[in-house]
Amino acid sequence: MVKQKRAKGKAGGVGPSSDFDVIIVGAGPSGLSVGSELAQTARVLVIDSKKKVSDTAKSWFVPNFSLRKNEDILPYVYPGVKRFLTDTFGGAKRAWVAKLKGGYNFIREHELLAYWGRKITRRRNGSKLLLGTYFEDFEDRGDSVRVNTTKGMFTGRLLIDASGHHSKIKSQCDIPYEDGYWWSVFGATVKHPKGVAPMKVGDYLLWGTYRDSNADPGAPLAKGRPVFEYEVLDENTSFTLVLFLSKDKVDVDFMKRQFYHILREEPRNAVWHKVEVVEEKYGWYPSPGVSQGFARDRVAFIGDAGNWSTPCGWGMAFILSNYKKYAANIARALKTGQLDQGSLESFVQMRENERYEILLDQLAAHFLSRAPTQLIDKFIYVWDEVDFLYCEKLFTLTIKQAEVFEVVKALLSRVKVSELYEAFDEEEIPIAAKAAIAALEDLAEEKLRKLAEDTKEWLEKTGDWIDNMLGTDLFPAPTPQVQTVGELDNGFDFLDDKSIFFGDDEEDGN
C-alpha cells in the first residue's frame, strides 16, 4: 500500500503549467532512453540531482544483438570485445576468441546520454529535463500523482521510477528489494603513454586474481577478494577495474584503495604502473533473480529500480533491447488510461521457459561469489573441454538446454559434486533445483511440441491420401486469426523468443 504524503511547497516553474503526462525520476540510461521515446507523443518531465545530462560514473559494453532496431544510437557505439582472457595467481591463464554472433560493442556513454537528453528537450511539446533537483516524496491523488522535489511540486498522470537501486519511491511504496548479490565496481579509463602492447584492442580480461590481495589465498569474492579486469578500447586507451560480488555493497573507498594498489604496485601489472588516469568510475549493480515486473497504480519501475538487469549484470543490454517497446506500451496506456498496477506490470513479463536461463545465470553468479579460488580455476579449465561460445551464451542468456548439459558434463569431469555443494549455502540449493526443474520442463515441452508436430504432419499426409481417394477435404487449412497491434506488440522482446534480450528467432551460434 502506498504511503500517502501531504503535498508541500509550490508548483514548479518549468512552464505555464506544471502538469505532465509522465514524470520520470532519474536521468540515467533507463530514465533518459524511455523518456526520449515518450517525449515524442507525451509531455515528459525528467528530474535528477546531477548537473549535466551526460554525467555518469559508469561505462558499458553490450552484446551486438541488443542494438537491433536501435539504428539511431549506432553513432554512439564502436567495436568491442574480440578476445576473452583469464589470468589467476593459481595459473589459470587462458585466451578465447569471442564467437557470439554479432560480437560486442563498447558504448560512448556520455555522448549517448546527451543524445537521449536532446531528444527530450528538442521536441517542443513542453517536455523538460530538470537537473540539480532531488526527489523528496510523492502523493497518489487517485487520478494523478503529485511529486515533491527540492525545486517545487509537479503533477503527472504517471510516475516512472528510474532512480536506481537506492530508490526512495520503492521504499515509499513498501516494495522490498529482492535479496541477492551485488556487483561492486571501481575503475578508471586510462591512457597508456607507450601504447597498450602486449595487449590487443578488443581484449577483455574477465578474471584476474592476485595472491597478496587476501591473507587467505583461497578466499572467494564473498570474503573480499577483488577481481581485476580490463577492456582495451583502442591503441592507447583501456578501461580497468576491480570488482567484488557479495551480499553487501562494498565501500567505495575500500574499492579505490584496492584498485590503485593493483594498478600501481602489483608486480604482474607492470604495463599499468605508469598509465594516466583519465576518468574514475564506480558503482553498484544488483544481481537480481527473475522478478522484473512490479508496479503500483500510476507508478512504474524501470532500470535498477525495476530489476532491469540479469544476475551477471547485463543491465545496459536489457535497457537497449527493450526501452522502445516498453515506451510504446506506456504511450498506449496513456491514451487508454490503463495506468493501474496490473496493466503496468503486464508490460514486464518473463516467459516460463526462459526462467531456467535466468536461474542458471543467477546460480553462476552466486558460484563466482562464493567459490574458493582453486575451484574457480577448475571452472576456467572447463572451457578447455567445451566450446567457449557456451560460456558467452551462458552469461548472455542465449544458451540452449543441450549446451547446458554439455557444460555440466564437462564441469563434473573436473569438479566433485561435494565441492560444488560446499560452494553454496543452503539458500542457493533451491535455486539450483528450480533451474534443473525449469530446464527439464522446458525440454519436455519441446519434445511434446515436436511429437505434436510430427503427429500433425502424419495426419495431414494421411488426410491428403484419403482426400485423393474420396475427393473430399478432410483436413481443411485453418482460417487465419487476425491479431490487433496491441496483441502483437505487448510486453518486452523477451516475451516471444529464446533470449531475454531480443525477439526474432535467429540462430545465435558460430
Q: How far is 19 from 126, CA to CA, in rounded Å?
A: 10
CATH tag, 19-58+108-175+294-349:
3.50.50.60
**Does residue 59 have a pLDDT over 70?**
yes
Give the rounded distance of the alpha carbon of 378 from its chain centre. Answer: 27
**Does residue 499 have a pLDDT over 50?**
no
| Other residues' Cβ atoms within 10 Å of the Cβ of residue 15 | 13
pLDDT given at position 147: 96
Q: Work out the pLDDT band at 11, boundaries 50, 70, 90.
A: very low
Q: How far is 145 from 156, CA to CA, in rounded Å?
A: 5
Entry pTM: 0.80
pLDDT given at position 503: 37
Instruction: Say which residue, 461 or 269, is predicted with more confidence.
Output: 269
Which of these ranges, 50-54, 183-187, 302-306, 338-342, has the smallest mean pLDDT? 302-306
| Other residues' Cβ atoms within 10 Å of the Cβ of residue 85 | 18
Which of these ranges, 219-233, 280-294, 389-403, 443-457, has the smallest mean pLDDT? 443-457
| Other residues' Cβ atoms within 10 Å of the Cβ of residue 436 | 16
DSSP label of 493: G
pLDDT given at position 165: 84
pLDDT given at position 349: 56
Which of 1-10, 155-164, 218-227, 415-424 shows the highest mean pLDDT?
155-164
Mean local confidence (pLDDT), 107-115? 97
DSSP label of 69: T
Copy the grid coordinates of residue 204.
577483455
Mean local confidence (pLDDT), 35-46? 97
Mean local confidence (pLDDT), 22-26? 98
pLDDT given at position 8: 43
Contact yes or no for 443/402 (Cβ under 8 A): no
Instruction: Say which residue, 166 or 114, is predicted with more confidence.
Output: 114
| Residue spans per domain, the chain | 19-58+108-175+294-349, 181-285, 351-475
Mean local confidence (pLDDT), 429-453? 53
Q: 34, exposed or middle or buried, with CB in 10 Å at 0-12, 13-18, 19+?
A: buried
pLDDT given at position 451: 52
**Does residue 215 have a pLDDT over 50?**
yes
Contact yes or no for 308/319 (Cβ under 8 A): yes
**Does residue 97 have a pLDDT over 90?**
yes
Mean pLDDT of the chain, nearest integer? 81
Mean local confidence (pLDDT), 138-147? 93
Residues 470-479 have pLDDT tens digits of: 454 444 444 4
Q: How far is 10 from 154, CA to CA, in rounded Å?
A: 9
Residues 340-382 have pLDDT tens digits of: 999 999 887 544 445 667 777 777 888 888 899 999 999 999 9
Q: How far is 187 from 283, CA to CA, in rounded Å?
A: 9
Mean local confidence (pLDDT), 88-110? 95
DSSP label of 153: E
Residues 159-179 have pLDDT tens digits of: 999 998 889 999 999 987 766
pLDDT given at position 482: 40
pLDDT given at position 292: 62
Nearest to 171, CA basis, from 342, 2, 297 = 2
Contact yes or no for 103/202 (Cβ under 8 A): no
Residue whose C-alpha cell is 545496459: 316
Residue whose C-alpha cell is 516524496: 137
Q: How far is 429 from 434, CA to CA, in rounded Å?
A: 9
Q: Work out the pLDDT band at 307, boundaries 50, 70, 90.
A: confident
Which of these ranges, 52-66, 371-385, 425-439, has the smallest mean pLDDT? 425-439
Residue whose C-alpha cell is 574480440: 82
Copy the grid coordinates of residue 109.
556513454
* CA pseudo-torsion sign 234, 235, 239, 240: positive
| Other residues' Cβ atoms within 10 Å of the Cβ of residue 166 | 12
Q: Work out the pLDDT band at 60, boundaries 50, 70, 90.
A: very high
Q: How far is 229 from 234, CA to CA, in rounded Å?
A: 16
Contact yes or no for 241/186 (Cβ under 8 A): yes
